[in-house]
Each structure stands twice: as structure tokens, then as C-alpha cells.
Amino acid sequence: MDPGRDQEFAEFVDGRFTALQRFGYLLTGEWHLAEDLVQTSLTKVWFHRNSLRSGNALESYTRTVMVNTSTQWWRRKWKGETPTEVMPEPAVESQYGVVDDRDLLLRALATLPRRVRATLVLRYFEDLPEAEIAETMGCSVGTVKSNISRGLAKLREHQLVVAITAPAGKEARS
Amino acid sequence: MTDELKERLEALVADPPPPSGVPSQLVFTRVRKARRRRAAGAGGLLAAAAVAVVAVAGNLNDSKSQPPVLGPPPTTQVAPVEPPLGVQLKLTPTIKGRTMTMAVEASGTVLVPILDGAYVTPNSQGIWSLSPGADYSFGHGAASGADGGPLTCDGSKRRFTGRSTFPADPHTYPKAGTYMFTFTVRFCGLNKPVTATQQIVIK
């Protein structure tokens, strides 16, 4: 191991772990899986760290590896989860409204195909422009646009998400 | 609207649990383990190569070498016949009330896709784990699908033969009627996606 580069890598890991863990949670829907995903991805990244020049490239590459790894995990399970077309219970007003909303959004995200879900998270959580998402996902900008459109359309099928994804004019573009 | 979606996503991850240790130490532990595995794998390959050389040297039987005393007689090598590429689908619906669950069985031979430069290893889902994706519609506008991720078929030459069953999403029909369920799946090595249909009668 190169101590200088390892020190730099360790600083990156300690500094960005929580942010990557949040991204991982939105990809997997479970905190313990998110931590495992981040650690697995960073281990893969370590073997390629010498070819990455800046901190930005390191973070961007880590996100790419996380998306690919989570897709691989999902493919291994191949529909181990069984999302349903219609939510079993309607959202209701309650004193636990915030928790209900979170749960509903999480379940709505779980019904999306993995790469569509990753595209939405990169666009609306990480605020990445479409060109950068395309680079991260290894696809064309057209595919990114199509995934965003498909993802939002699918989210609109769920009661809570109707309000926040209702088509209100032109989509904000990069 | 998108601001609100962003706010909701941020609220979803507002309180992450603390990591189970110092992140960099956890990652370096995994790195060391991966390096040991890789080293062991390389060592195993070298050992296997050495054994192969010894075995071949011990079985030389050309005109200038001693024939093996107990070695097998030379045999003519026949190239194995590879099974043709193709997949058959069998749809088996289970209907309870207005909810239908479709079991889709795939059997046949496909090319193994490539991910990040390496052949994908089939898992417990067998042939389904090698599919780049599938789409299915329930016959009244609702549709779903499966995305196999960034797999590529380009350059693949390895074949896989298998049979396994994939449970599609359970689906509840809004009203009684007759519907046509359509399932389309893609595999490497096939000229076009494979499609199967099944009539569903909801009473």
C-alpha cells in the first residue's frame, strides 16, 4: 500500500461516508444495506484509486460503482422483492404523518426498476445535471431523460407522490 | 415540484444511523481481505498450472519419449456439440379472487452476458439472472418489468443452459373480465426478445 495515497483515501472515506450512506439508502431502502453497499463499493474503488486524479473524480466514480453494485445485488435477487401495482393502504392524516410520508415514498421508490430509481436519486437528491448522470450510469443523455420521465410517471401512481410529481410545466433541466 | 421531491428525499435520509465503526478502518479491513483472496486465487492458478505441466510431462507418448506404463491409450478428441441457442417460456397463473400471480418458467440455452469486463456468474435464479431485462403487461394498461442492469452481450461466447422459474409481480385486477397477460424477456445470443402470452379470466 502507498501510505500517502492511503491517507488521502482514508480522509475521503471518513469525510464522505455519511453522504454516500444517504445515497446508498435511497438506492437500497435499508440503512444496513446502505452501509454494506458503501463499504463494498469503496473497497472496489480502492483498487482503482491510482487512476482517479481528483477528489471529485473519486466521489463520482464511487457513485458509479454504488449504482452498478446495487443493480448487481438486485439482479442476484431478481425480483426477490415483490412490489405491487397498487399500494395496499391509502395514506391517511395522522400524528405520525411525517413517518407515513417517508414510508410511502420509500415504498413508491421500491416499485421502480433499479436504474430508474438510481437516475431519479442522482437527479433530484444529488442534483446532478443529466450529462453527469449519463456519465455516472454509463448510458446516453436520452436514456437518462427517459428514465426520469418513466420514474416520475410511476411515482405519480402513488397517492402521496401525486402532489410532488404532478406535471407543473416544463421539467427543470440541467 | 422537483424542489418538493428533493425535500422529501432529504427528509427520508435526515437521520442516518452512525456507522458500525470508523469508516476508513472498515473499508481497509475489506481491502486487506480482498487482497488476500486475490493473492490466494493467483497462487491457486500457479499450483494448478504446475500440476498440469507435471501431468502432461508424465503422459508423453510420442516416438522419442517413454510410453506411460499405465497411461490410457491415446483417444481421438471429439469436439463437444454445443446446444443451440434458444429459450422457451411457460406461463402458469395462480388466481385468488381478483389477484393474479404469474410464474414464468424459462428453459433453454443463452449466451452469458458481460458486466464490467467479466462474465456474469449465474446465481440461484439460474437462467433469469442472465437476462438484461424483461417487460410484462397485465392486459389492461398496467405494466411492470425487470432491469438486469448494465449488462452487455457484445463479445460473449460462453453458453449457459438451464431452467428456472421467475415469479412476476402479483397483480390485482380492478374488475372481473378476460385479460391477456404478455411477458417479453431479452437474453444474449437471441435475435429477438422471447414473448409468451396467457389469457387470464377474472370472475
A173 has pLDDT over 50? no
Give the list of residues 6+ apart from residue B109 with CB closer than 8 angstroms, or none: B82, B83, B84, B85, B86, B87, B159, B160, B161, B189
Of B10, B43, B78, the last residue of a domain is B78
pLDDT of residue A79: 43
pLDDT in tens, chain B (203 residues): 577 788 888 888 988 888 888 999 999 998 888 888 877 766 666 677 777 766 655 555 555 555 555 556 666 667 677 778 899 999 999 998 888 888 889 999 999 988 777 788 877 778 888 888 888 888 887 766 666 667 788 888 888 998 888 776 678 888 889 999 888 888 999 888 899 999 999 98
Give B41-63 pLDDT, tens digit per residue: 666 666 777 777 666 555 555 55
Q: Do B152 and B97 lie in a common domain?
A: yes
Tell me which chain A residues have a C-beta less than 8 angstroms from the C-beta of B115: 68, 72
A to B CB pairs, distance under 8 Å: 135
Residue A156 contacts residue A165 (beta carbons within 8 Å) = yes
Is B127 inside any structural domain?
Answer: yes
For B4, the closest of A21, A164, A167 (CB atoms) is A164
Of B78, B104, B120, the last residue of a domain is B78
Report DSSP state, residue A138.
Answer: T
Is B65 inside any structural domain?
Answer: yes
pLDDT of residue B71: 55
Residue B149 contacts residue A102 (beta carbons within 8 Å) = no
A133 has pLDDT over 60? yes
Q: Do B68 and B97 lie in a common domain?
A: no
Question: Quick one: what percent of chain B has pLDDT higher than 90?
Answer: 14
**How far apart are the C-alpha atoms of A95 and A100, rounded to whole Å?**
9
Any idea which residue has 421502480 for its cell? A112
Give A74-103 pLDDT, tens digit per residue: 665 544 444 555 555 544 444 444 556 677
Q: Do B73 and B99 lie in a common domain?
A: no
Q: Do B71 and B95 lie in a common domain?
A: no
Provide the mean pLDDT of chain A.
78
For chain B, the three-class secondary structure string (H helix, E strand, C coil) is CHHHHHHHHHHHCCCCCCCCCCHHHHHHHHHHHHHHHHHHHHHHHHHHHHHHHHHHHCCCCCCCCCCCCCCCCCCCCCCCCCCCCEEEEEEEEEEECCEEEEEEEEEEEEECCEECCEECCCCCCHHHHHCCEEEEECCCCCEEEEECCCCECCCCCCEEEEEEEEECCCEECCCCEEEEEEEEEECECCCCCEEEEEEEEEC
Distance from CA of A95 to the nearest CA of B (A): 17
Give A11-54 pLDDT, tens digit per residue: 999 999 999 999 999 998 889 989 999 999 999 898 888 777 66
Cell triple for B176 = 372481473
Write down the ipTM of this complex: 0.73
A55 has pLDDT over 70? no
Q: Do B71 and B159 lie in a common domain?
A: no
B158 is in which domain, residue-wise? 86-202
Is B178 inside any structural domain?
Answer: yes
Q: Do B93 and B191 lie in a common domain?
A: yes
For A35, the closest of B20, B129, B169 (CB atoms) is B20
Is B2 inside any structural domain?
Answer: no
Using the beta-carbon criterion (under 8 Å), do A86 and B170 form an inter-chain contact?
A: no
**How far apart are the C-alpha atoms of B58 and B68, rounded to whole Å?**
7
Measuring CA to CA, which residue among A161, A25, A135, A157 is closest to residue B12?
A25
Provide the mean pLDDT of chain B.
80
The helix (H) or strand (E) run that includes residue A106 is helix A97-110
One-letter amino acid of B68:
P
Distance from CA of A87 to the nearest CA of B (A): 11
Q: How many domains in chain B?
A: 2
A106-135: average pLDDT = 90
Q: Do B93 and B180 lie in a common domain?
A: yes
**CATH code: domain of residue B168:** 2.60.40.10
Question: What are chain A's domains?
Answer: 1-82 (no CATH), 83-174 (1.10.10.10)
pLDDT band of A144, cuts 50, 70, 90: very high
Of B78, B95, B120, the last residue of a domain is B78
Is B117 inside any structural domain?
Answer: yes
Using the beta-carbon criterion (under 8 Å), do B145 and A113 form an inter-chain contact?
A: yes
Residue B192 contacts residue B185 (beta carbons within 8 Å) = no
Any idea which residue has 421531491 for its cell? B5
**How far apart are the C-alpha atoms of A71 and B148, rounded to whole Å?**
7
Any idea which residue has 505441466 for its cell? B53
